[in-house]
Structure 1
Amino acid sequence: MTPTAVPSTVHDGEQDLDLTSSAIDHKLAENGQSNGTSTTNVQELDASKLTYTFTEKPGDVPPLGVDSIDGVTVCTDHMITAAWSAKSGWKTPELKPYGPISLMPTASVLHYATECFEGLKAYRGYDGKLRLFRPNCNAERLLMSATRISLPGFSSGEVEKLILALMAVDGPKWLPRDRPGSFLYLRPTVIGTQAQLGVQAPSEALLYIIATFMPVLHSPAGGMKLHTSPDDMVRAWVGGFGYAKVGANYGPSLLATKEARARGFGQILWLYGNEGYCTEAGASNFFVVWKTKEGKTEIVTAPIDDRLILNGVTRRSLLQIARERLEGEIDVVERKYTIQEVMDANAEGRLLESFAAGTAFFVCPVSLIHHRGQDIQIPMGKAGDGGPYSLKIKGWLQDIMYGNVDHPWGVVVQEEQ
């Protein structure tokens, strides 16, 4: 067999150094951003072919504030599934009653962590409309995560259409118009289902989308308290997969998180390297607001160019809106910074506020960081519910999500009547 030639524009040494990132880029170019058409007999994911089978046993909408019953997350009546095989491509997607899925004990996902997912919310606006917040970003990231762990590609636009289709059916009942300001949590997931042991890319997979209830997490009494990560544990590392939303990022972090909560802290502030770089708070992006020694006010967060952390949709949105609306007032900075810098700013009276940001925790103020026996007390504003910049940015994003303002990021769902 004649080996595939290396393109003349790529030097052998360069290819050796960026093997993983090159493979991801090539796969995305091949199958991720297509328009849904195919020149072969392998079928593309096609939301226009979605079939509907409605439940005969509809569930009850829980009271406000109830998100689980007997430890089981409350889900809506329906889910969407689409199976894939390397031989024939994507099968017809189905909207059907929510319920168990069938897997063989040798399924790839159960042994080799071939699983990725997304998290986004549907919001019942104060204007009565149902919205999603930038669902295209979640669909695109799902594709990137799937590609990173050798799961099948798809058009991200088709996944977005399927998310909208599920909300069009279940949204009217489970987010009724008499509950403005409420939300559902959506979980699109892709898993490897091939029933064969062996470390290999699965030749069968399943995409499914569910909608669930989730508690409000962004306003803990007294603010979120963080405990820095121990020296013998890291959540993600350069060259790994911290930038992809895969299940393997989360399970190994639970031990330290459980211990931190037993000590009275809400999440782990994950530090990286001997320098102690600040990366993420739990599974959320982490931010500080401080004055530089030169007197400039900055919002600072870790960068994404080294692929160490997740490029959160909330993260990119708040950075963009801060740059647009706070220009000239505050500098928005993405760079590596250490826990020692945070401690120095605190000791010198330059630390103004801190917050975590993500879909689950939204924009959540941080009131304390415990690091190696020392407590860093962080201002929480006059009302004690967060600093002025975090509250301002949080309000701007909420206005978009709940329809107080019209904005392209708020995608209106055309609900079934």
Structure 2
Amino acid sequence: MLTCEWNSQEGWGQPKITPYQPLSLDPCSSALHYATECFEGMKAYRNWSTGEVRIFRPELNAVRLNKSAARVSLPSFDEQEFVKVLQVLVGLEKRWLACKQDLEATSASTQEDEGDFIYIRPFLIGTGNTLGLSKPVEALFVIVTSRMARYNAQPLKLLASSPAEMVRAWPAGFGNSKVGANYGPSIQWQGYAAQQGYDQVLWLFDEDKKFVTEAGGANFFVVWRAGDKLELVTAPMSSGTVLEGITRRSILELARDRMPELTVIEREFGVQEIIEAARESRLLEAFLCGTAYFVAPVKTIGVDGQDISVPLQFGKSGEYAAKIKQWLMEIMYGDCDHEWGIRVY
């Protein structure tokens, strides 16, 4: 793990890499009482054939973490330095990722899943030993990592939330910041969805218009026909109700660059539009994306006691989700040279 301390008098100290271990916090640390904490989720990938390791767009995670930190009055940090220390840490941890060369070099190695990755969790918390609702004067920055096997999400069932009972985020709130307060309160409704046989919640807000925001903690997309156009639609960042996902941004950029047949639209849209598109056979596919789920197709959306069936052209995915997922994997695992994959030496 990597740690770095900050205080208002001296600023940031020297980053340290140590064995993974518990943190020692004062019981009055502001993160424990006033939710002065934020975090990121990111991944590093190793190419099976060449052994090269890449981190996917870490500079964007640095920018987003600084934005989240500002939202809860935590100190900012140098984003370029963040990428540098991250590369050092991943350079040490990459030994946990399998590759063909390593397996051929030693008979003691066991076969690992091709396509495993390192999950990276940076977080920043307010510390100190003073109770009181005020800006933290001490903070701790930490990065921990974990090796994970390659994950391919099966088609998901989503349950639309009831805006009259619970919303995940609201305009001018903090739904566009990656802070714990965005996630802890949502677990209650997620548990309800699981009891009903669904995998995740499709979060709506506004009792009348029932605008679509996110799915669980992931961004949500639909593809449908609108007149003579094919549209890829997702909720806008301007509403403040969705997180500025790194995967979301990458999908939008790839679609605009490589899918001229699609009109890419970021706008508010209601769940009723999805219902109407399905009823009129205009709904082609839906999927969600994020660091955890990556690109996950949706097969069912439950709304007010009725299930909407979402087409899956390839059985387990829609056409556009499958293409986008493949392009992203090629970049992440270094099967093609691309500026989004930052190499670790």
Give the TM-score normalised by the residue count of structure 2. 0.94
Q: CA deviation at 1:247?
A: 0.5
- Residue 218 of structure 2 is matched in structure 1 by 284
Deviating runs (4+, > 6 A) in structure 1?
A: none
For structure 1, which runs of at least 5 residues remain unmatched after alignment?
Answer: 1-78
Question: Which residue, out of 331, 342, 345, partners 1:411?
Answer: 342
CA distance in 1, matches of 2:160, 2:237: 20
- Residue 104 of structure 2 is matched in structure 1 by none
- Residue 108 of structure 2 is matched in structure 1 by none
What amino acid is the match of 2:344?
V
Q: CA deviation at 1:124?
A: 1.1
Q: CA deviation at 1:263?
A: 1.4
Secondary structure of the corresponding residue to residue 271 of structure 1:
strand
CA distance in 2, matches of 1:214, 1:345: 38
Q: CA deviation at 1:92?
A: 0.7
Q: CA deviation at 1:217?
A: 4.7
Which has the larger displacement, 173-182 or 296-305? 173-182
- Residue 133 of structure 1 is matched in structure 2 by 56
CA RMSD of superposed structures (Å):
1.1
Say if 1:254 and 1:215 are closer, same or farther in 2 by CA, change over 3 A.
farther
Asked if 1:185 corresponds to 2:108, the answer is no
What amino acid is the match of 1:399?
E
Q: CA deviation at 1:176?
A: 2.8
Asked if 1:153 corresponds to 2:76, the answer is yes
Say if 1:269 and 1:216 are closer, same or farther in 2 by CA, change over 3 A.
farther
CA distance in 2, matches of 1:326, 1:110: 46
Q: CA deviation at 1:219?
A: 2.0
- Residue 182 of structure 2 is matched in structure 1 by 249
Asked if 1:393 corresponds to 2:324, the answer is yes
Q: CA deviation at 1:174?
A: 1.1
| Count of aligned positions | 330
Secondary structure of the corresponding residue to residue 191 of structure 2:
helix
Say if 1:118 and 1:271 are closer, same or farther in 2 by CA, change over 3 A.
same
Contact preservation (8 Å) 2:117, 2:150? no
Deviations 1:223-266 (A, max 9, x none): 11000112310001111111110010000000000111121111
Contact preservation (8 Å) 2:122, 2:141? yes
Q: CA deviation at 1:119?
A: 0.3
- Residue 241 of structure 2 is matched in structure 1 by 308
Secondary structure of the corresponding residue to residue 163 of structure 1:
helix
CA distance in 2, matches of 1:170, 1:387: 35
Contact preservation (8 Å) 1:219, 1:385? no
Say if 1:320 and 1:242 are closer, same or farther in 2 by CA, change over 3 A.
same
Give the TM-score normalised by the residue count of structure 1. 0.78
CA distance in 2, matches of 1:254, 1:200: 28
Q: CA deviation at 1:216?
A: 4.8
Q: CA deviation at 1:306?
A: 2.3
CA distance in 2, matches of 1:271, 1:263: 18
CA distance in 2, matches of 1:323, 1:263: 37
- Residue 191 of structure 2 is matched in structure 1 by 258
Equivalent positions of 1:148-227 (< 5 A) are 148-171=71-94, 173-178=95-100, 179=112, 180-214=114-148, 216-220=150-154, 223-227=155-159
Deviations 1:2-34 (A, max 9, x none): xxxxxxxxxxxxxxxxxxxxxxxxxxxxxxxxx
